Structure 1
Amino acid sequence: MLKDMRFTFGNIQADEDGYYWLLNGHERRDRNDTFDILEGDLKDISATHLRQMYRRLHKHLGEDCSPSDMVIHTGEIPSEFDLRDLPLLPTSDVKFSFEEGEILLVVECYLSMPGSDDESPQTDLTKLNAPPPGLDVAALIAPLLSRKRLTLVDVDAYNYSDDEWEISVEIGFNPRSRMLSDLYLDALEVKALIEASAGGVTRETVAELIRGGHVKALLGQPEGDWLEAKRQHADFDSEVGKIRLAQWVAQFANSPEGGVVVLGLATKNQGNGDVITKITPLPRESGVRKKYVQVLDTKVIPPIENLRVDLIAHGESDLVLIEVPPQNEENKPFLVHGAVVEGKAQGNFFSIVRRRNDEMASTHPANVHANLTVGRAFLRRGELPKKLSME
């Protein structure tokens, strides 16, 4: 049992040597190089109190004996588990650090991606001046940090080998009215976004974030050539609604890189395009996924290969994720059976739509005629162009 606890701030206590701590009554130890805790220890502990404890111990122990970084582990300690074995539990790769009187969040990410073009890659943990080529960490996480009221302090990149990297991100924050458990969850979102987006945010990484329960990491991200967000379910009670749904999906089937449609996210125009600003989860409805699949199967011609429609649980509600992989050029253009003219459905017409920046655009009749001409030429000569123009 701990005794002689000298310093107390909220739910944190520590002895005068800073070696023994109590977090919500649970004993933890600073091993003079690492202070290992469990993620459950963070509950009901304020960031202000942690900063006060770090500052008090730093002043009491002196410059050469600052408290160690607080490394957060996952899992629970079994009853027969010795506290000294806590460091053996899996780490979350998130920790709290104390620097120059302030506490920082430190997030460590381990990535496999191409490194530099140097003939002699780093073989030890060597700090580099920049992250791996193609990964701008600061730009990637800026919208998320802004939304969370966090600030980027530093990004360090380390290269183990040709394609193995460690990215260490230091994040600052105002501790006032902040709880450690909330900051920890924020750090996990930052980590998820970086690891899912190595090499840049893509259709695949966005889908991975959503399926992994990290949809909040998309707030602040812009729509673009391959991402469309919708606030509500498609309107299955009207023909116009069904045609619109088919058009949202078909535009990406006609695009070179495919795309993702997410229903349950609100957007707002920020002057240079629409940005995802809010999660608007959809009411959970029995059979709703089947409705999406049936509309797309009947309205889009030819059928989209490897089309994926998923319901992603978000609390007691759902998000709808529609992922459109890149399609074979030979199958383009994808047609939508039906068109919307002056707000009314025209079932005897067809429409061809494609993506232009962050908006859906109709195909000009001249382009339709050009594709028909190419098709007739193939039937006559038996030669198929390598790429059918959709421009």
Structure 2
Amino acid sequence: MAGTKTVTFDRHQHMLVLANGESRRGVDSYDFLLHRADLQGMRPTELKEALRRVLVDGEVVVNITHDDSVDEEYSVAEPVSFKLSAGQLIVSVGHVNNAIDNDEEAASVFPPLLAPYLKRQRASVRSVEMDLYSYHPLIWNIEISCSLRGRDMADLFQIGEGTLALLRAFESGELTRETALELLRSGNASVLIGQEEGPWLDVKSAHYDLRSPYGKISIAQAVARFANAEHGGIVVVGMRGKRVPGGEIISSTCPVPVDGRTLRSYQTAIEQHLYPPPDYLSIETVPVDGGRLIVLHIPPQPEEHKPFLVHGAIVDGRIEGAFISIVRRRGESSIPITAPAVHATMAAGRALLRRGELPADLEDRP
């Protein structure tokens, strides 16, 4: 029924009562346990009202479990929980990080790191504190204030999960090709929104037109740019970039249609126009916002395989099918490999074939 509340608090039984009539008790008076399935459709304002009835001052904690049954004593709680604190409903994330061991450093690291993602989610970091009961490993409790409008509790839980995924990806101190790939494959692509494109990451909002020579050459060049780069890279089809002062950031996801022929079409275009074939190139689909993205991952390539050549070139918007193009990634843009660099590579190869060593004037060339 439209007027039925999704959750209420029974003061006499001291338990939360769901719309379907099921009840959820807690370990103690101020600690409740919900199943993740309970969050679907549960209105945050109604949970907030129910928790306010538990006590006047202090905090009420709602832990979440993925267990099939909700057992207050034996269920394992997720690192994402909810808290009523000072009358505000908060998303709380418990993050294990031994590299940071004081509040001042944590406050300078975590909020700026999470700001681009949380801003898009209409949320912000409220506080960062060390769990007083943790020693090894250290657990940081990150509290997040979220706009409740137009959301259910499952949405808020997803914000917490996204926060946790981003924190785990940044364990090394910065977003890397490997951690970005992990986020994409785990269904957390939206966490990358607000992050900068760079020397190993490129996004495209729509499919390459693989029915045309232009599209086939374009995808081959996109892969070649990273194959010729030092650290490899990732091309994501289904995310939109936006120019900002100082560069370009990922602004949104825009899932692309995928069918049984999509990945093979990408693979065929690359095979036809890129030589040699890059080692361990992967082309896969990943979930996002109810749709799919195409992710092309190009690991760092052996130097002896470079430069990677594209059969065909795009010159002033025109297709030059008889040309060979050689490109590499530098920063956010692509640049052609220069004639001196190509000549140096060829000359070095010939020298090695003849004498087994490089001449002195070639050893220091780019």
Q: By the TM > 0.5 criterion, same fold?
A: yes
Distance between the aligned counterparts of 1:288 and 1:175, measured in 2? 38
SS at match of 2:314: strand
Aligned to 1:115: 99
1:224 to partner: Cα distance: 0.7
Aligned to 2:126: 153
Distance between the aligned counterparts of 2:189 and 2:227, measured in 1? 23
Please give the residue correspondences for 1:14-33 in structure 2 after superposition, counting only pairs within 5 Å. 14-16=9-11, 19-24=14-19, 25-32=21-28
Contact 1:129–1:156 under 8 Å retained in 2: no
1:305 to partner: Cα distance: 0.8
Does residue 274 of the first structure (1) align with residue 248 of the second (2)? yes
Does residue 48 of the first structure (1) align with residue 45 of the second (2)? yes
1:46 to partner: Cα distance: 2.1
* Residue-by-residue CA offset, 1:282-318 (whole Å, 9 max, x unaligned): 1123322112112222322222111111122447743
Query: Taking structure 1 as reference, are residues 37 and 96 closer, same or farther at Cα in structure 2, changes over 3 Å only?
Result: same
* Residue-by-residue CA offset, 1:254-274 (whole Å, 9 max, x unaligned): 111110001111111122222
Match for residue 167 of structure 1 among 140, 160, 164: 140
Distance between the aligned counterparts of 2:363 and 2:155, measured in 1? 51
1:19 to partner: Cα distance: 2.8
Does residue 74 of the first structure (1) align with residue 49 of the second (2)? no
Aligned to 1:130: 105
Distance between the aligned counterparts of 1:41 and 1:87, measured in 2? 18
Mark the runs of 5 or more structure 1 residues left unpaired by the alignment. Answer: 1-8, 78-82, 117-125
1:279 to partner: Cα distance: 1.5
Does residue 190 of the first structure (1) align with residue 163 of the second (2)? yes
* Residue-by-residue CA offset, 1:10-54 (whole Å, 9 max, x unaligned): 333223378322132221113325311111222333222233333
Contact 1:155–1:167 under 8 Å retained in 2: yes
SS at match of 2:60: coil
Aligned to 2:218: 244
Mark the runs of 5 or more structure 2 residues left unpaired by the alignment. Answer: none
Aligned to 2:271: 297
Contact 2:228–2:327 under 8 Å retained in 1: yes
Query: Taking structure 1 as reference, are residues 186 and 87 closer, same or farther at Cα in structure 2, changes over 3 Å only?
Result: farther
> TM-score, normalization: structure 2?
0.87
- 1:16 counterpart letter in structure 2: R
Aligned to 1:122: none
Distance between the aligned counterparts of 1:227 and 1:52, measured in 2? 44
Distance between the aligned counterparts of 1:329 and 1:54, measured in 2? 61
> TM-score, normalization: structure 1?
0.82
* Residue-by-residue CA offset, 1:228-253 (whole Å, 9 max, x unaligned): 00111111122121111111011111
Aligned to 2:204: 230
Contact 1:156–1:168 under 8 Å retained in 2: yes
Contact 2:8–2:47 under 8 Å retained in 1: no
- 1:48 counterpart letter in structure 2: T
1:172 to partner: Cα distance: 0.9
Contact 1:155–1:168 under 8 Å retained in 2: yes
Contact 2:11–2:53 under 8 Å retained in 1: no
- 2:335 counterpart letter in structure 1: A
Distance between the aligned counterparts of 2:145 and 2:314, measured in 1? 50
Aligned to 1:370: 344
Query: Taking structure 1 as reference, are residues 305 and 157 closer, same or farther at Cα in structure 2, changes over 3 Å only?
Result: farther
Aligned to 1:342: 316
Contact 2:60–2:85 under 8 Å retained in 1: no
SS at match of 1:172: strand
1:157 to partner: Cα distance: 5.1
Distance between the aligned counterparts of 1:270 and 1:258, measured in 2? 24
SS at match of 2:266: helix
Contact 1:12–1:49 under 8 Å retained in 2: yes
Count of equivalent residues:
356
SS at match of 2:92: strand
Does residue 332 of the first structure (1) align with residue 283 of the second (2)? no
SS at match of 1:169: strand
Distance between the aligned counterparts of 1:313 and 1:179, measured in 2? 21
Query: Taking structure 1 as reference, are residues 18 and 363 closer, same or farther at Cα in structure 2, changes over 3 Å only?
Result: farther
Query: Taking structure 1 as reference, are residues 176 and 308 closer, same or farther at Cα in structure 2, changes over 3 Å only?
Result: closer
1:67 to partner: Cα distance: 5.1
Query: Taking structure 1 as reference, are residues 315 and 175 closer, same or farther at Cα in structure 2, changes over 3 Å only?
Result: closer
1:148 to partner: Cα distance: 0.5
- 1:153 counterpart letter in structure 2: R
- 2:284 counterpart letter in structure 1: D
CA RMSD of superposed structures (Å): 2.8
